[in-house]
Structure 1
């Protein structure tokens, strides 16, 4: 149980850490943007590797695809905001929320202890905070940007804990 908890928390920590670095690289037009984004896109595969022994190859691959889409849309959204393209940013934000809906539904379908509504609530909060993180970075409001990072980390760990508890409840014999 401790290993599962640590592994899931680490993956969520990496998710928000590399998301932050990718946002910063895009916003600052830094030369590490491609490499940072590539590292961020490893995160869904790492989650899939953790989920595969429990849920099988197909479910792990579906999670990986949905989570990759989440990250790609986020990067596109930051670039649209940076370019001042409000119409594209609004469309991407709709796609981002539709992806969160799909993730919440998928997770609730593979684990009866994961509520679709609870996942949706948490993912929407994650999107809100991440969008604010990008907006404050692009605006050069670094103090608020840093404060948001702390909130994002805390909220991500809530998702990690919910994920861990659901897995332990679904597979109790694997943890005793």
Structure 2
């Protein structure tokens, strides 16, 4: 039952569909940009989003391990994962509003790491995290930060 929560996707499409036309959010490894003075609010937002997405990866993995091994902490891990999803939704509310933040919090997020874990591909699980998952999480958080700052420059 709880594993089915991990299979809905579309969160990125939801968030990016809320951005007005012409806004682009990108993150490229190794890309050099002009130096810019970053406001404390922007740095705080970026750090907060990075932590939320990293936490999401950690709690998702912990829950999947508990669910597959039928460990006694399974419900606690699920509750913490779902709280993280609420926290992600709450982080978007100041920019997109209460309704959009609540919708984002309701979405269930799926990653390659979950798929390899469910298939008991332990080497693939480690590789998924080491090779791309952590970098993707940070880049996704940075892309969200850039998009929010471009949409709401007066808040930064």
Shorter chain as normaliser: what TM range?
Answer: 0.5 to 0.7
For these two proteins, the number of residue pairs brought into alignment is 114
Helix, strand or coil at the partner of 1:41: helix
1:130 matches 2:114: yes
| 1:144 equivalent in structure 2 | 124
**For each residue in 1:42-92, what CA deviation from the matched residue of structure 2 results, as whole angstroms up to 9, or x when unmatched?**
0121112211111111111111112xxx15xxxxxxxxxxxxxxxxxxxxx
Helix, strand or coil at the partner of 2:148: helix
- Aligned Cα root-mean-square deviation (Å): 1.6
Q: How does 1:80-99 map to 2 (within 5 A)?
A: none
Partners of 1:161 and 1:134 lie apart in 2 by 29
| 1:170 equivalent in structure 2 | 151
In structure 2, stretches of 5+ residues that fail to align are 1-41
Partners of 1:145 and 1:10 lie apart in 2 by 21
Q: CA deviation at 1:40?
A: 0.3
Helix, strand or coil at the partner of 1:160: helix
Q: CA deviation at 1:34?
A: 0.6
1:159 matches 2:140: yes
| 2:105 equivalent in structure 1 | 64
Q: How does 1:92-111 map to 2 (within 5 A)?
A: none
Q: CA deviation at 1:173?
A: 1.4
Q: CA deviation at 1:159?
A: 1.2
- 1:22 pairs with 52, 63, 71, which one? 63
**For each residue in 1:13-59, what CA deviation from the matched residue of structure 2 results, as whole angstroms up to 9, or x when unmatched?**
01100001011111211111110011000012111221111111111
Conserved? CA contact 2:116–2:124, under 8 Å: no
Higher helix proportion, which one? 1
| Pair 1:32–1:38, CA change in 2 (3 A) | same
Q: CA deviation at 1:129?
A: 3.9
> How high is the TM-score relative to the length of structure 2?
0.67
Partners of 2:143 and 2:78 lie apart in 1 by 26
Name the structure, 1 or 2, with higher relative contact order (CA <8 Å, separation 6+).
2
